[in-house]
Structure 1
Amino acid sequence: MSDYFRQNAVKTSFANSESWIMLSSIEQQIKQKIERVGTPLKDWDIRINYGIKTGFNNAFIIDGTKRKELMDMDPKSEEIIRPILRGRDIQKYYKDFSDLYIINVHNGIKSKNLQPIKIDDYPAIKRHLDVFYKELAKRSDKGITPYNLRNCDYLYDFNQNKIIYPNMTKFLPFVYDDGQFLTNQKCYIITGNNIEYLTAFFNSSLFKYCFRDNFPELQGGTRELSKIFFDKIKILQVSEEINSSFKNLITKLQQFKRKGIKTKEIEVEIDHHIFKLYDLTVEEINEIGFIEIQ
């Protein structure tokens, strides 16, 4: 054993106190190649934020049946009832909508001159929330009234095209959303430039190969995908033209998902487009392969 270590040992220097992982020579070669041409996500023109925290989901999150009931009682209710996704609803490239909605009694945004929702303008919703009034009043994170949600300065970001991903996950799934879904606190959203390309990159085999271990592993192989870990990841920036080409592939892939058509062929195609961007060799591509976390 001692002879083996003497023959195969490699000297390594550590320039700072950040966490580190053990990599083979080819793993180091690939990761260094990727990071050498990449820009840390903290320097991209993107924003990463967590989902809506209600303080009492039983009152604010409703199913489709309750939504219809409230809208039948008062059609105006539809104005502040929005579809919502949870962490468990996020799959690779696909959102598994569970017919759940959030009553978005937002607290306004002063910087954008958006006024808080006045609950008296929505009598059917007020009657629904009144059932939970004691619990609503106890919340430490309520808005200007017990009916209002806490402040959310990035509320408009949910209306933009965005990436949604769960905050804790074994499978590292990312979905591109152009449907103005809101999310609960079990998700993060990414808005900004070139998010179609980023969706493809985050779902790619290259991302899983190089960066899965950048996220702390919790019990059962689950990873914590907090913003502080994403900020340090270095990714190659691309042109609008390249971003558009990835958007076309993602649109096609999501159409297949909705129809129940297998998408591995498109996913492999996306992988190879990304490999080409990074000018990976045949040896490096074969080393990475197609990674599907089970």
Structure 2
Amino acid sequence: LRGRDIKRYEYEWANLWIIATFPSRHYDIESYPAVKNYLLSIGIERLEQTGETHIVNGKKIKARKKTCNEWFETQDSISYWEDFSKPKIVWKIIGNQMAFAYDTNNYVMNNACYIMTGNHLDYLLAVLNSQAITWYSYVTNMNKTGVGDVQVGGQNIATFPMPPYDANKIELVELAELANSITNKNINLPFIDSKIESLVSMVYGFTSEETNFLHSFVSSLRKSI
């Protein structure tokens, strides 16, 4: 998935594939002749991890930095590779709108995305996509691009003021259930979204005036995009 593929509560896969030869998987490249031939077409001089410089057709070709990995493997060990196969929240790092989705289909992300694994992801998804978090992101000193897009990295998510999940609080449980229901393509998203916003306001203890302000702020923001 790329950043542009991720929307609020959903994503659209563009039928793109990535060769993810993580060293920790210990692949035997001979078992994947099509992959091997494709990589060799790029030039083994470029892919080998020796740090050396080669002369190919009269041109200098710099190999990748020296490591102990095989020529067809990624340079870094990518110890978190198993997280791609776990249920996870995915989001684009840079965008004019906050957009978080839930993935259970083992997609791998490119470097324009972040992933989050762990517990209570349905609940977190609902809060992250809420007007409250959108407002917080735009009015705090969150990193922004020159055109005003927000940059939401993992370190930013860690600072979001999100109430911890408590299974004894019915509104938190209902938030999780509502977010989970959005995976059903036949649901009425505007209706569910409205219910989620009402519950989020309740969780944060917003007054009706504060809730109306958030709605007005985010509505104006989305219209301007």
The alignment status of 1:147 with 2:72, answered yes or no, reads yes
Q: What amino acid is the match of 2:112? A: K
Question: What is the CA-CA distance between 1:158 and the residue it aligns to?
Answer: 1.0
Provide Cα deviations, 1:134-176, integer angstroms capped at 9, x if missing partner. 4323233877112111310111111111111111111111111
Count residues in correspondence. 201
Which of 99, 104, 120 is the equivalent residue of 1:194?
120
Is the Cα–Cα contact under 8 Å of residues 93 and 173 in structure 1 kept in the other structure? Answer: yes
Alpha-carbon distance in 2 for matches of 1:101, 1:148 = 16
Residues 108-123 of structure 1 mapped to structure 2, 5 A cutoff: 108=24, 115-123=25-33
The residue that corresponds to 1:180 in the other structure is 106
> Greater helix share, 1 or 2?
1
Question: What is the CA-CA distance between 1:247 and the residue it aligns to?
Answer: 3.7
Provide Cα deviations, 1:57-93, integer angstroms capped at 9, x if missing partner. xxxxxxxxxxxxxxxxxxxxxxxxxxxx011111111
Q: Normalising to structure 1: TM-score of the pair?
A: 0.63
Distance of aligned partners of 1:93 and 1:125 in 2 relative to their CA distance in 1, 3 Å threshold: same
Instruction: Name the Cα RMSD after superposition.
Output: 2.2
Residues 56-205 of structure 1 mapped to structure 2, 5 A cutoff: 85-108=1-24, 115-133=25-43, 134-137=45-48, 138-140=63-65, 144-149=69-74, 150-205=76-131
The alignment status of 1:230 with 2:146, answered yes or no, reads no
Distance of aligned partners of 1:95 and 1:142 in 2 relative to their CA distance in 1, 3 Å threshold: farther
The residue that corresponds to 1:287 in the other structure is 213
Q: Which gives a bigger RCO, structure 1 or 2 (Cα 8 Å, sep 6+)? A: 1
Provide Cα deviations, 1:85-127, integer angstroms capped at 9, x if missing partner. 011111111111100111221110xxxxxx4212112122111
**Identity %, equivalent residues:** 24
Is the Cα–Cα contact under 8 Å of residues 9 and 102 in structure 2 kept in the other structure? Answer: yes
Question: What is the CA-CA distance between 1:285 and the residue it aligns to?
Answer: 1.4
Alpha-carbon distance in 1 for matches of 2:73, 2:179 = 37
Q: Normalising to structure 2: TM-score of the pair?
A: 0.80
Is the Cα–Cα contact under 8 Å of residues 162 and 190 in structure 1 kept in the other structure? Answer: yes
Is the Cα–Cα contact under 8 Å of residues 39 and 72 in structure 2 kept in the other structure? Answer: yes
Distance of aligned partners of 1:158 and 1:281 in 2 relative to their CA distance in 1, 3 Å threshold: same
Is the Cα–Cα contact under 8 Å of residues 120 and 176 in structure 2 kept in the other structure? Answer: no
Provide structure 1 residue ranges, at least 5 long, that are not aligned to the other structure: 1-84, 109-114
Which of 275, 278, 287 is the equivalent residue of 2:201?
275
